[in-house]
Each structure stands twice: as structure tokens, then as C-alpha cells.
Amino acid sequence: MRTVNQHETPLFTGLVRHAERNPIQFHIPGHKKGAGMAPEFRAYIGERALAIDLINIAPLDDLHNPHGIIREAQALAAEAFGADHSFFSVQGTSGAIIAMIMTVCGPGDKILVPRNVHKSVLTGIVLSGALPIFMNPDLDYELGIAHGVSLEAVRHALDQHPDAKGVLVINPTYYGVAADLKGIVELAHSRGVPVLVDEAHGVHLCFHDELPLSAMQAGADMAATSVHKLGGSLTQTSILNVREGFINPGRVQAILSMLTTTSTSYLLLASLDVARKQLATRGRELIDRAVRLAERARREIAEIPGLYCLGPDVVGQSSSRFDLDPTKLCINVKELGVTGVEVEAILREEFNIEVELSDLYNILCIISLGDTAEDVDALVAALGEISRRFYRQRPANVVKVKVPVTPILAMHPRTAFYAETEVVPIREAEGRVIAESIMVYPPGIPILLPGEIVAEENLDYLEECIQAGLPVQGTEDPEIRMVKVVKDAHR
Ligand SMILES: Cc1ncc(COP(=O)(O)O)c(C=O)c1O
């Protein structure tokens, strides 16, 4: 293969060159460079974008069996992220997470996972037939959020389950808190167990030395990384980074191929190629600007009466609060006596500001490569106005976060998922094996997952959460009055 460097974009450049030749296309997509598309959409997104909305014809390589420009682009990504292999995903980090789990686990194999996993982890567990062993995340009772898992929690789980086929951790968390990932990797490797990282919120880490270690820098074996979230590529695009040793890259490729559409979007793939170039060549400078903006925002928010912004003071409190990505602004509003959900609505309706997420006590704002000083000024000014309206006008909210008791797993989640089920009133589910999930936010820890036995304590906890006004979700019945249980399976 010819030598390429990080300033090159083999996939994007190859695609543009192909489009410029303006070939007569007797292949899909049937909109044929936009000509067959509804004119209002064509006019809005532009003919140039449509001209490169192509698929895997011979000159453009194939994500399922890369040997040309996609292979070159993936090799450059591997070099940039410090991986042995990088695989592009057009199925988001969700698809990459499912692939990681299916790579290390077959039916019946144990995998250690935090209890507060993203739903894609559960999908990976159901599809692979793995047996999840849950580790409790570190709960922050001040903010009402969950952080990562501690080194001690991983050690305990490995002691109890030395036959585990993998350890999966979320690093950093949505709120930017990183655990001692290097410590976790060293520990797991000393027991012969690979480490898989849900790095949905960490694509930028390895491009700036003031940020927590990335999964690859920490020596992890696989990392599912959302380039689209914080790295500047189009929505849906992620990367699966792999280190050789414990993991067979050929198997990763085969599994990704099983999970991926055969009509991969070249617009999406090309955006990964240029995002990698930008991160590799200008990442430090761009991320530095984001870090400085976020630090200023954090300082100014700290001056606003009734607000607290999660900051470096959290670092060092435990091995699950080991480091912090300062570009995440988790703003706690409990002292104002309003919920984060209300603040989100006020920001939207009165200030035309959209936040990343909100819960009962916090809003989360992300500062990334695209933000400006004016954006931050607008946020700080709006928060100042909201504080003036509510601070000391209402009693402060008290954080009510409890840890649900982890139920007994009676059946593999996969078995419960595929079992014959019936729907029963929730109180009658006691002693039955549940076939769906019930989660509560905050702190985002599932109360029940498929295959678990519903105990009275789980139902009491659920009732308390509903009465406290916490958002409970997951069941097919949005009112959570009825629940799906496995037919004929009782305690
Ligand atoms: C912790 C975590 N993991 C995985 C994902 C899935 O990422 P994607 O939306 O790229 O599929 C998310 C999405 O928000 C997430 O927050």
C-alpha cells in the first residue's frame, strides 16, 4: 500500500474525485446525484452532498471487505488513535459496542459490566447469549448521578468470576468523569481478561494531554468511540479501535460485517475520514480552545447563586473519580428549587438554548470543537437570569437517589428475551422472571433486566421512584402498570 500521512483523506478525496468524473450511474442510490429526489430536499442539502452519496461500487472500496480507500482511511485512524486496527462504524457506538461483546462472548460466557450500562450493552448481551455479571457504579449522592466503576469493584468481580471473558467499562462517563482505566486494564490483563471500553464520550481524549487517558492510551483491548458526538463527524459515525493480543481483528471484522448494512453511506464514512484528519492535525489546538472555553464557563457558573458545576474538585475522591474531562458542564440546579428538566425547558423556550440532557437535579452542556465565546456568554447569561428568578424563592431540592437492590438473575437475558411471555399487573409480577427492562433516571441504573426475578424490594423501590417523580422507563406499557414476564417461570 502507498504511504499516506495524517494530512491526507484517502476516502473523502477518492469519493470527490469519483464524483468529479461525473459517471453515468446505473446503480443505486436511485436518486442519481439528487436528480430523482424531492426538489425541496435537494435544494436544502445541496447537490454536492448528493453527488457523493454513493455506495460500495468497485472504485470506492467496501466496508465489509476493505482493500482500497477505506482500508487506507482506517489505517490512518488506527495510527491517529494509537490502535492496532480501527474499524469504521455507520451504526453508531451502539453497533460497535454490540460487536465488542459478540467478539469476546459466546452463549453462556460471563462478561463483567457496570449496572448503569447503555442499552446497547444489553442488546450485545442478548445477541451473544452472554451472562452479565454486574458491578455497581459509584453513586454521587450530591449530584444524583452515577460515575464509573472503581478498581476495587473490578477486582472484587474478577475474584468472584475468574472465568469472565471480558470486562466492559464506560470511560469517561457522560458527565466527563474518568476512572483509573490504566489500573483496571493492568488488573484485568494480569488475570488474562480483555478490557472493552464504552468510549462514547471520549473521542477527543488522546488528542490533548490535559484530558484523561483514552482507552487505547490506557492499554485497553477494544474501544467503541463516538466520533460523531465530540469529534466532528456526521451523526451515526463511530469507530471501533482494537489492540491485538487478546482480540482477533479478523473476528471483529466478521462480526461488524454481520451487524452492518450492506448499503453503507459514503457521506457518513467520508465524514469519519475528515474528522480523523482534523483531530490528528489540529486536534490539540481545537480541543484546547474548547477546554479554555469550558473552564471559563465553569468559573462564571460557579459565581451564579444557587448553581454548582461539576469540576476538578471531584477528582481523587475515589478510583472511579480519577480524572475529569473539563469540556463537560454538569450544572447542578437543586439549590434553585427547580428541576434540571424545568431549566432545560426554560432555556429552550425563553433563550433558544438546547442542552445535551437534563434530569431532576442537573443539566448537561457539552463544549466541543464547534463552540464560540458568544455561545458560552449566552448560556452564562441565561443561567444568571434563571438564578435571579428562582434562587431563595423556593426551597432547595433534596437529592433522593437510592441504589436499587440487584435482583437474582434466574435466566440468561437472551433466554428471557426469546421466551414465551405474558403481561401481568406489576404487583403480580413478584416472584416471576421479567422479560423487559425497567430503568430509572437518575441515576440511570436499571431496576430490573430481562431474566431477573422480580422481588418485593424491587417493586417497593419502583413505587418509591414513581412517587418521588423520577422518570421510570423501559416497559412496553408507558404507565408501568403492566409488565411482561416469562410464561410458566416462577421462583
Ligand atoms: C455511555 C453511552 N454509550 C453508548 C452510547 C451509544 O452511542 P451511539 O449513539 O453513537 O450509538 C451512548 C449514547 O448516548 C452513551 O451515552
Lowest mean pLDDT among 11-20, 51-60, 139-148, 278-287: 139-148
Cell 442539502 -> residue: 45
Mutate to test the pocket of ligand 1, among 90, 93, 229 (most ligand atoms within 8 A of CB): 93
pLDDT of residue 461: 86
Q: Is the pLDDT of residue 401 over 90?
A: no
- Residue 112 confidence (pLDDT) above 70: yes
**Closest Cα partner for 154 from 114, 102, 213, 116?**
114
Q: pLDDT by residue (tens digit) across 259-283?
A: 999 999 999 999 999 999 999 999 9
* Angle between helix 92-104 and 119-128 (nearest 10): 40
Mean pLDDT for the stretch of residues 172-191? 97
**Does 403 score more than 90 pLDDT?**
no
pLDDT surpassing 60 at residue 1: no
Which pLDDT band, with edges at 50, 70 and 90, does 464 fall under?
confident
**pLDDT the model gives residue 4:** 74
Q: What are the backbone angles phi and psi of residue 292, rounded to the nearest 5°?
A: -65, -40
What mean pLDDT is reported for the chain? 94
Flag whether pLDDT at 119 surpasses 80.
Answer: yes
Q: Tell me: pLDDT of 12 over 80.
A: yes
pLDDT of 491 over the 60 cut: no
pLDDT > 70? residue 489: no
> What is the tens place of the pLDDT at every residue in 30-48?
999 999 999 999 999 999 9
Instruction: Extract the C-alpha cell encoding 244.
Output: 491485538
Other Cβ atoms closer than 10 A to 454: 26
DSSP string, 255-283: HHHHHS-SS--HHHHHHHHHHHHHHHHHH
Rounded alpha-carbon distances, angstroms, from residue 248 to 85, 129, 163, 191, 220:
10, 20, 19, 19, 14
Comparing C-alpha atoms, which of 267, 271, 287 is closest to residue 279?
A: 287
| Percentage above 70 pLDDT, the chain | 97
How high is the pLDDT of residue 313?
95
Binning pLDDT at 50, 70 and 90, where does residue 443 land?
A: low
pLDDT of residue 442: 59
Amino acid 406: pLDDT: 84
**What average pLDDT does range 132-145 have in this prediction?**
92
Ligand 1 centroid to residue 238 C-alpha, Å:
10
Average pLDDT of the residues in 339-354: 96
| pLDDT at site 399 | 79
Higher pLDDT, residue 479 or 163: 163
Our separate counts of H helices and E strands in the chain read 15, 21
Question: Mean pLDDT, to the nearest integer, of 340-359?
Answer: 95
CA of 237 from ligand 1 middle (Å) equals 11
Residue 396 has pLDDT above 60, yes or no: yes
Mean pLDDT value across residues 156-174: 98
Angle, helices 373-390 vs 340-351, to 10°: value is: 120
92 lines ligand 1 (CB under 6 A): yes
- Ligand 1, residue 228: give the atom nearest the CA: 10
In tens, the pLDDT along 286-316 reads 999 999 999 999 999 999 999 999 999 999 9
Residue 410 contacts residue 424 (beta carbons within 8 Å): no
Grid cell listed for 394: 423556593
Widest pairwise Cα distance in the chain: 68
**pTM of the predicted protein model:** 0.95
- Cis preceding linkage at 443, omega within 30: yes
Residue with CA closest to ligand 1 atom 12: 200
Split at pLDDT 50, 70, 90, the class of 467 is: confident
Can you tell me which atom of ligand 1 is nearest the CA of 224? 4
Q: Which of 120, 250, 107, 279 is nearest to 196 (CA)?
A: 120
- How far apart, in Å, are the Cα atoms of 141 and each of 83, 144, 367? 36, 5, 25
Cell of 351: 433563550
At residue 20 the predicted structure's pLDDT band, cuts being 50, 70 and 90, is: very high
Mutation test of ligand 1: which of 120, 170, 268 has the most ligand atoms closer than 8 Å to its C-beta? 120
What is the rounded average pLDDT of the residues 214-235?
A: 98
Q: Hey, which of 101, 116, 118 would you mutate to test ligand 1's pocket, going by the most ligand atoms within 8 Å of its Cβ?
A: 118
pLDDT value of position 67: 97
